[in-house]
Copies of this chain bind each other. A is one copy, B any other.
Amino acid sequence: MKYLIIGGVAGGATVAARLRRMDEQAEIILFERGAYVSYANCGLPYYIGDTITQRDNLFVQTAQGFTARFNIDIRTKQEVVAIQPQGKTVLVKNLVTNETYSEVYDKLVLSPGAEPIRPRVDGISGNRIFTLRNVPDTDTIKGYINTIKPKRALVIGGGFIGLEMAENLHELGIEVGVIEMANQVMAPLDYSMAAIVHHHMVENNVSLYLGDGVASFKETENGVAVVLASGKELETDMVILSIGVRPETLLAKEAGLALGKLGGIEVNEYMQTSDPDIYALGDAVEVTHLVTGSKALIPLAGPANKQGRIVADNIVYGNKKVYEGSIGTSIAKIFHLTVAAAGANSKLLAKEGIPYHESFTHSGSHAGYYPGALSLSIKILFAPKTGKLLGAQVVGFDGVDKRIEMLAQVIRNNGTVYDLMELEHAYAPPYSSAKDPVNMAGFVAENILTGKVKTAQWRDIEGLSKEALIVDVRTREEFALGSIPGSVNIPVDELRSRLPELPLDKDIVVTCAVGLRGYVAYRILVQNGYERVRNLSGGYKTWSLARI
């Protein structure tokens, strides 16, 4: 058997390794147009920022090492320039000699990845404007920084690569700004959760330019000016362009392979393209989003690696292994914050016309009485009738990764908020509370679904009628430190005795720090005949974060 693989990093290298383990006798050739295989794309920003100090550490395997271990014919600096499915042949160009030759295959694997999007605006090809995908890009950026010693940088695009770059450039002492066309960074989050990130970035002296896109770039005397759609001009010494990636599909398209609506290569559940002898995986393919059922592009290393093993097995043993799809579980470190999401957010659900409830909770990362507990915020989205968990977002300083795993697994299993309540978590004071924040998110959601509480969202506050009463049930001390304009303060522990102060016939929104005491107050009020009460989800914390 002869297997050809196009692309030598996350997807391609994984297929190659598993293929060899499963088939010691096969001929396996891996083509990589770059000079390196098997490197840590995800580590590149951290090498630029000197968190990873050894360049060598970026290479999980070298071409040599790979060949020695797996007896694979690795052809770096060789680009596959055409696929001829009828002849089961690929055309390869040796980028060093410029020679072209062909190789036949029994099975072909495409893992060409995705390339950074470069918008067609004036000045885009300036030599102070960088994108980051691979090791040469990294060397270029690092070389520029070491030689030119830029003082200022602008990152365009507030996705995870952009924000990782913002942090890493900041670590090098460079003054950083982030420009983002949307009104928020980190698209997988909803606005209110992204707001926590905004605050944190500003606290870390990163300037944020939200809701403004790049119109053009202009060379200036001292650097480059970024002209924004709003007309604003920002001068800087370097630009990192990270507005997203686009599947590399030219080869596939020219070979007549079917592409999906989103522009990725179409594959079936076995990761097989429209040509049964060609498999494809990684950033280049469309997969099923397991919450919406629609197709999605999920350019992440975890899926690429997992698909790799499935592709290899299906090639060797026949189509038996299924890649079900993805819920887009993702995570990023942004300065001291960790930001994670899984499933669908409100934008996606709205787009797909899927109805949902949402709920905010803020908890300690572990038991409050044990030192070091830090604030952890969870937003969940769930189906109104069944309670099916549709999406989850977690932002905080510690234990965020754990909570997104707990939530992601429930989403992935088509679980519900009731399952969140029952998760039997591992509890000792340094790690959690007797009720984990994830359990708590479940309790709160159950109370909403079973009508134990009605909630208001932070967006609702603005639209309240003049008649409506906002009752803040925190202590006097907390209230004095800041409150929703127009709210009155009745500490929850005094509420029972102060009911006469509250009219029965008005809309009332109760609020507290995070929603817990508001909920207790809600329960007291409704059982005392108040019918028009709502509790502010996420309390003053969510409201105040999202509002600024």
Contacts and interface: CB of A to CB of B under 8 A. Distances in A.
Interface of A: 10, 21-25, 40, 42-43, 46, 51-52, 57-58, 60, 65, 68-71, 160, 164, 300-306, 309, 324, 326-327, 329-333, 338, 340, 342, 367-371, 399, 401-402, 404-406, 408-410, 412-413, 421-432, 434-436, 439, 443, 452, 492-493, 496, 519-520, 523-524, 527-528
Give the number of copies in the complex.
Answer: 2
A51 B371 contact: yes
A431 B331 contact: yes
Given A52-B370, A69-B492, A431 B338 contact: yes
A367 B43 contact: yes
A523 B24 contact: yes
A69 B300 contact: no
Closest 10 CB pairs of A and B: A24-B527, A331-B426, A402-B402, A68-B493, A57-B369, A301-B434, A305-B434, A302-B427, A401-B431, A21-B523
A409 B52 CA distance: 34
A306 B333 CA distance: 32
A435 B40 contact: no
B402 A424 contact: no
B432 A401 contact: yes
Q: Identify which of A413, A425, A436 gathers the most chain B CB atoms within 10 Å of its CB.
A: A425
Contact of A422 (B46, B306, B422): B306
B306 A439 contact: yes
A69 B493 contact: yes
Nearest to A302: B427
A324 B303 CA distance: 33
B528 A24 contact: yes
Contacts of A399: 401
B426 A369 contact: no
A40 B330 contact: no
B305 A42 contact: no
Contact of A25 (B21, B164, B424, B527): B527
A333 B366 CA distance: 13
A525 B396 CA distance: 48
Given A160-B428, A425-B408, A431-B401, A367 B329 contact: no
A63 to B, nearest CB: 13
Given A428-B160, A520-B21, A434 B302 contact: yes
Contacts of A369: 40, 43, 52, 57-58, 60
A370 B46 contact: yes
B408 A405 contact: no
A173 B402 CA distance: 33
